[in-house]
Structure 1
Amino acid sequence: MAGGEWLGLAVLAGLVVYFLAVSWRKWPDPLIDFGRELYLPWRLANGAVLYRDVDDFYGPLSQYLNAGLFKVFGPGLMVLVTANLVVFTAILAVIYRLFRRAWGPGAAWVSAAVFIAVFGFSQLVGVGNYNYATPYAHEATHGLLVCLLLVAVLSGWMETATLRLSFVAGLLFGLSAVLKPEIVLAAGLVTGVAYMGQRWFRRPLGRAAIGAWLVGAVLPTAGFAVYFSTQVPWGQAGQFACRAWLNAASSTRFIGDPVQTGFLGFDQPGPHALEHAGATLLALLLLAVIGAGAWRVDRATGTVRRWLLLGGLAVGLGVVAVKVLPWISAGRCLLGLALIYAVVSAVAVLRPPKAGTSSRVPLLRLLLAVLATVMLSRMLLNGRIHQFGFYQAALAALLVPAVLIGELPERLGLGKWGRGMAVVGCLALLGPGVVFFAGRSRQLLLMKTHAIGESRDRFLTFPAATDPTGGLVGSASDWLRAAPGGEAAALLVLPEGEMINYLARRPSPVAPFFFFSAATSGGREAAIVRDLEQRPPDWIVLVSRDLREYGVQRYGESPEQGGQILDWAGDRYEVAATFGGDPLDFRQRGLMILRRRH
């Protein structure tokens, strides 16, 4: 690397430090999702078995990795954060390396900077967790790293399918199979495209290479099956080991769920499809303006004229980016752009390479385009930068500056001035968007001043005047930690709140981790009540949670939305403490602790 590139890497490191400092200990949400990411490894580290004693939607790899960290270093939010920062650094390094090989160091630097500033540690909505320090699901960030490493391996495997590369490619695919459904899908499609590319160029693929791939692919699932077989019968052990994809393939609990439907954009498919089409057309128009401007600047005569054209186009793009573009909905264009670029890349691969050129760069670009497109599958008609966009939309967003800077000038045959215009146009168009997202995140993060937890579990959330939820969670956790019974005293939090279980160090008596919607429908709430009959908790916490997006106005209002559990608790429990208003009414923001009568 040249000295200038090392300086660029130092600037990227400085960006990481800055955005970490702005968001320090402000990453998680006190009630939603991330409590599970702390509670599950704490329970597993203390002898519980995943899926038998504690439930989860996804595969076993991430939770057992985190449990291993807790076993070695002790439980703690900052233990996971430290590990997650290592994962983030690895993702950033692989992105930079892959993009550098595909589009050059300049494109790689800009893409990496966008990744850090927009996707790394931002909070763009009221709920935390959508970042790489405290992800809502570790399977998401671990899975993105696995998929990027798979692309790196497959780009070499397509040229020479050695036994070592075949085994590593199979192993990475196998790791995806014990993570998350969309990660399995992404790894599978990327592998399929790589195989077709390998066959297209008629490169030999021996039986030994196929066997090595199969061994690697089976190894992670087989390893977990063997482990689970020491805890449960073999049939159940196999199901547990395959949970990542079996849950998606066979479970009906989320069919018709309004929140999941909304995540996909299927709640209003027609309007959403039109929004996506319009956003994609607008994005293509702006990219065409940059391309045409770069071509015009490159062919202009005279230095002064070139500078005037370059400056005028840059100012015009900047004004449009600042005054016109609705950046909050910028994610709407990403699927269309990624699909178009995947097709363009596929055509480039299918064309015979020019004499003296390698097919490796076009193949790598195609693999990255396919991965970026497939990662958007969970937001098919609801593309967004915020929320799940931190990992699902990130790669597609990074393709835009990479292609503008590293590929468009090459395709247009541009010289120095044209390449410069492409860079300036890219920065003028995308720079205001990066500033918008970074500024929006900073405003939200600055509001987080209320501390919850102690020592390595300490984090900051919104004060009571903004959102009292964090204060309620902290107060209840402190109260329960001081209550008699210690870690042997079981705690049930309704309708959701494993963060309280974790901070209070009180295990739940039942496996589910939330008690509404898909977890209680279809007869599941009655099954939970039967389990509670067998293992009644010592404590029950009722905490306000806005469930309107699930169609619930008041928790417990119907038999399959908490009503059966509350009826069961009935006279069996008495009020031990209250904080705030009525906990069953999300508008009152309250919390109640119930103690079992003896």
Structure 2
Amino acid sequence: MEETKRMEAGVGALGLLALAAIGAALLAFGWDRGPDVLVDFGRELYVPWRLTEGDVLHRDIAWFNGPLAPWILEGWMRVFGVSLDAVQALNALVIVATTALLMSLIARLTSRASAWAGALTFLTVFAVAQQEVIGNFHFLSPYSHGITFGFLAGLIALDGLARGLASQRSGWYLVAGAGAGAAFLTKAEISLAVGAGSGVMLVATAAAGRSAGWRARAIMAWAIGATAMLACAWSRLDAQLDGVGVRAALLGTWPYALDDRARDLSFYRKMRGTDQPLASLERMALWTAGLGAFVAAVLAIGARVGASGVRGARLIAFGVALALGVAALFFVPIHWLLLPLPLVLLARALLVFRRWVRAPQTATLDAARLSFLVFSLALLPKVLLAPTARQYGFVLAVPGTLVLVSLLVHCVPHWTSHGPGQRMMHRVNGPPERPSARRRAMSAAGFGLVVVFCLANLFATTQRFRSKTVEVGIGADRILAKGFRGVVMAELLRDLGKRTGPDQTLLVLPEGIMVNYQLRRRTPTRLVNFMPPELVFFDEDAIAAELASHPPDFVALIHRPTLDYGYPFFGEGFGEPILEWVRAHYDEVRIIGDDPFDPNPKAFGAAVLQRRAGR
């Protein structure tokens, strides 16, 4: 027994070292290659920089997410300096903490093998990954820190509740409540999922077969933790905003998430798959059936190998699954491999719920499993009919994907060794005296499929990262960008750096606040981006009036097609009053690259405009 424990400890230590090495290599390779030079991420640097200079959310900066993420980034920058490197270092710590919590949860809910496989999947597919042209959809440089910080807070909430229910310690409920309160202060989609998952555990607590006093203390501790976080945020907002608009600021994303005008933009309908709902449902059903048949066949082969009694059965099953998985990738694109996610999660949740309701007083493990499944499902509405690891899926699909990993590595093999599953496998594979060997071989085959999925995503990421060789910005703010787009942005920074003084203002349209951040030049308006969602949330005429009262010294027009939102360019269907005002008051002094309104999809360029004398 002692020798077995020492062996398990040694294997665990080697596994941790291997994961640490993989994580470190990914971070080193992705460092400076993740941020997009134009889209989204500039806001994540500009806003906390302005907060360190004394600006206030909602008063000086138009903000439609919760306040927690920019406050954390502001505090981090005050301690470690204002730089991209400092933010990436913070995000590296978030990746470590997220990996550790995911491993803890998955190991408690299923098995250690599932936890190792899940950690590998998270690191290679989600944490530092890029499968398309635009970056910003991974944890090292996310399009919104609210979604990654909120996700981590949600894991703290679920882990605390699972530990508290199992140990009967109300202190864990206090931690869980604080996590849930923090998640509420980030983004609506995260808050909704954390609330749903936490609700399951609170119901389980109320139904637990323990003393009424303990149940009351536990639920009260959770409420105190959540309320304390919200009260702290309210206090700071109230002090900064002098009591004006505090409630709306505390609600963060919720008013905007419920705005039909934003939800109906073509970009978001396509992300959800609701632009063509029937076609999306048909595609989901076909992929679910096809992938289900393929996975069942691979696991059945693994079971047959295990039942045969051949030496090295697990290694053989792993190798066969690896080979078959690689062969399959020649025929299927990896970005649709998560399409079955909603259907599988729903089916799994119903099975666990059925088992839990039979014994709610004692089934604490099933309650925690159901909580995680509900959390996984509740994250999906934004990508409901088209879930992938790309774009918003880099966070929203994480827990559901790890459920799939656990099914492959642990749940299905375990099911074949008990009850009806055991009897069925005996009839198919026999002989009955080798159930454990069969289970281990099936688990190895499932792990092989997981490794194929990880390697395929890792290959796509490395191809994207290797193409980024152009330096945009310098020093601790350097970004490595791709091709002509990077060349234009680098030249734009050099040009504006010479033309503008540190006290002058710069307006970049319709998107490109990264330029303001890297040059440390303020934008003259509360708005930092002028894309369709922002102009839906904030009145265009009011923005034009704000520009007229605080005109920028320089304007940069960036080539940014907006067909994904249903419009050709800024000024064609949205932003007309702003662009008209700019053209009436500014003269073009230089074009870098192509014309910023060139309809050629391969074009990219920027125009520099200077305010006319006397205007």
- Fold match (TM-score > 0.5): yes
1:243 matched to 2:243? no
Distance 1:134 1:535, change over 3 A: same
Deviation of 1:421 (Å): 1.7
Looking at structure 2, the residues matched to 462 and 319 of structure 1 have their Cα atoms a distance apart, in angstroms, of 29
Range with greater deviation from structure 2 (523-532 or 428-437):
428-437
Contact 1:272–1:381 (8 Å) recurs in 2: yes
Task: Map Cα deviations across residues 347-374 of structure 1 (whole Å, 9 max, x no partner).
Answer: 23234499xxx73433332222222222
- Secondary structure of 1:438's counterpart equals helix
| 1:488-507 CA-partner distances (Å, limit 9, x unpaired) | 21111111111011111111
Give the aligned residue type for 1:538.
Answer: D
Residue 366 in 1 paired to residue 381 in 2? no
Q: 1:582 aligns with which of 588, 595, 601?
A: 595
Equivalent in the alignment of 1:479: 495
Report how far residue 324 of structure 1 moved: 3.7
Query: What is the 5 A alignment of 1:448-527?
Result: 448-464=468-484, 468=485, 470-486=486-502, 488-521=503-536, 524-527=539-542
Answering whether residue 231 of structure 2 is matched by residue 222 of structure 1, we say: yes
Deviation of 1:233 after TM superposition, in Å, equals 4.0
Q: Does residue 595 of the first structure (1) align with residue 584 of the second (2)?
A: no
Matched residues, number: 586
Superposition pairs for residues 151-162 of structure 1, below 5 Å? 151-159=158-166, 162=169
Instruction: Within 5 Å, give how 1:427-438 maps onto structure 2.
Output: 427-438=447-458
Following the alignment from structure 1 to structure 2, what is the Cα–Cα distance between the partners of residues 246 and 343? 32
SS at match of 2:129: coil
User: How far 1:235 moved relative to its partner?
Assistant: 4.4
Match of 2:47 among 3, 16, 40: 40
Counterparts in 2 of 1:499 and 1:312: CA distance versus 1, 3 Å: closer
3-state SS of 1:136 partner: coil
Q: Percent identity?
A: 30
Aligned-residue RMSD, C-alpha: 2.5
Which one of 123, 126, 132 corresponds to residue 125 of structure 1? 132
Question: Which segments of 5 or more consecutive residues in structure 1 lack a partner in the other structure?
Answer: none
Q: Find the counterpart in structure 2 of residue 274 from structure 1.
A: 282
| Deviation string, structure 1 residues 40-83 (Cα, Å, up to 9, x no partner) | 10111111111221122210000011011222222100110000
SS class of match (2:452): helix
Task: Give SS of 1:234's match.
Answer: coil
Amino acid in the other structure paired with 1:273? L
Matched, 1:327 2:321: no
Partner of 2:38: 31
Cα distance, 1:155–1:112 mapped onto 2, change above 3 Å: same
Aligned to 1:541: 556
CA distance in 2, matches of 1:308, 1:233: 66
Q: Distance in 1 between matches of 2:454 and 2:170?
A: 43
1:321–1:433 contact (8 Å) kept in structure 2: no
Matched, 1:569 2:582: yes
Distance 1:416 1:69, change over 3 A: same
Given that 1:544 and 1:586 are in contact with CA atoms closer than 8 Å, whether structure 2 keeps it comes out as no
User: AA paired with 2:387?
Assistant: G
CA distance in 1, matches of 2:318, 2:447: 12
CA contact (8 A) 1:321 1:432 kept: no
Query: Any residues of structure 2 matched to 1:80-479 within 5 Å, and which?
Result: 80-159=87-166, 162-203=169-210, 204=212, 206-249=215-258, 251-300=259-308, 302-303=309-310, 310=317, 314=321, 317-318=324-325, 321-352=328-359, 359-413=363-417, 415-464=435-484, 468=485, 470-479=486-495
Distance, in Å, in 2 between the alignment partners of 1:506 and 1:303 is 69
Q: TM-score, normalised by structure 2?
A: 0.89
**Helix, strand or coil for the counterpart of 1:552?**
coil
Q: Quick check: 2:201–2:368 contact (8 Å CA) kept in 1? A: no
CA distance in 2 between counterparts of 1:144 and 1:236 reads 26
Matches of 1:367 and 1:537 in 2, distance apart? 51
Query: How far did residue 96 of structure 1 move?
Result: 1.3
Q: Partners of 2:164 and 2:300 in 1: how far apart?
A: 37
AA in 2 matched with 1:193: V
Q: 1:201 to 1:534 in 2, by over 3 A?
A: same
Q: Give the aligned residue type for 1:246.
A: P
Give CA-to-partner distance per residue, 1:219-262, whole Å, 9 cap, x none.
Answer: 2222222222223242412221221323324x344042111111
